[in-house]
Chain A
Amino acid sequence: MRTVDTKEIADKIYEMALKAGVTLTPSCLAALKDAESKESCAAAKFALGTLLENAALSQRENLPVCQDTGMAVVMLDIGQEVCLTGELLEVAVNDAVRRAYKDGYFRKSICDPITRENTGDNTPAAIHTHICAGDSISITYLPKGFGSENMSAMYMLKPAQGTEGIIDAIVSTVKKAGSRPCPPVYVGVGIGGSFDTCAYLAKKALTRDIGTHSDRADIADIERKALERINALDIGCQGFHGKTTALGVSCEWAYTHIAGLPVAVNIQCHCIRCQKATI
Chain B
Amino acid sequence: MDKKTVSELKAGDSVLISGEILTARDCAHKRLTDMIKKGEKLPFDLKDAIIYYAGPCPAKPGMASGSCGPTTSSRMDVYAPVLLDLGLGGMIGKGEMSDEVRAAIVRNNAVYFAAIGGAGATYGKSIIKSELVAFPELLSEAVRRLTVTDFPCVVAYDCHGGSIY
Residues of chain A whose beta carbon lies under 8 Å from any beta carbon of chain B: 43, 46-47, 50-51, 53-54, 57-58, 61, 63-69, 105-109, 116, 118, 120, 147, 150, 178-182, 238-240, 269-271
Contact = CB atoms under 8 A, between A and B. Distances in A.
Contact of A107 (B58, B75, B117, B138): B58
Contact of A51 (B68, B116, B164, B165): B116
Interface of A (DSSP majority class): loop
B74 A118 contact: no
Contacts of A270: 118
Interface in B54-99: 54-60, 66-69, 71-72, 74-75, 94-96
A64 B119 contact: no
Interface residues of B, number: 41
B14 A67 contact: no
Q: Which of B57, B69, B75 has the most CB of A within 10 A?
A: B57
Q: Which of A67, A105, A239 has the most CB of B within 10 A?
A: A67
A147 B120 CA distance: 14
Interface string B115-129: 011111111110000
B14 A238 contact: no
A67 B74 contact: no
A35 to B, nearest CB: 13
B55 A107 contact: yes
B95 A180 contact: yes
Contact of B121 (A58, A106, A107, A120): A58
A54 B139 contact: no
Contacts of A105: 57-60, 66
A183 B9 CA distance: 25
B147 interface: no
B162 interface: no
A178 B75 CA distance: 14
Contact of B117 (A43, A63, A269): A269
B12 interface: yes
B154 interface: yes
Contacts of A46: 14, 154
B152 interface: yes
B91 to A, nearest CB: 15
A64 B67 contact: yes
Nearest to B12: A43
B116 A238 contact: yes
Given A179-B94, A182-B94, 18 more contacts: A43-B154, A46-B154, A57-B121, A61-B121, A63-B124, A65-B67, A68-B69, A69-B57, A105-B57, A105-B58, A105-B66, A107-B58, A118-B141, A147-B95, A181-B72, A181-B95, A239-B165, A269-B117
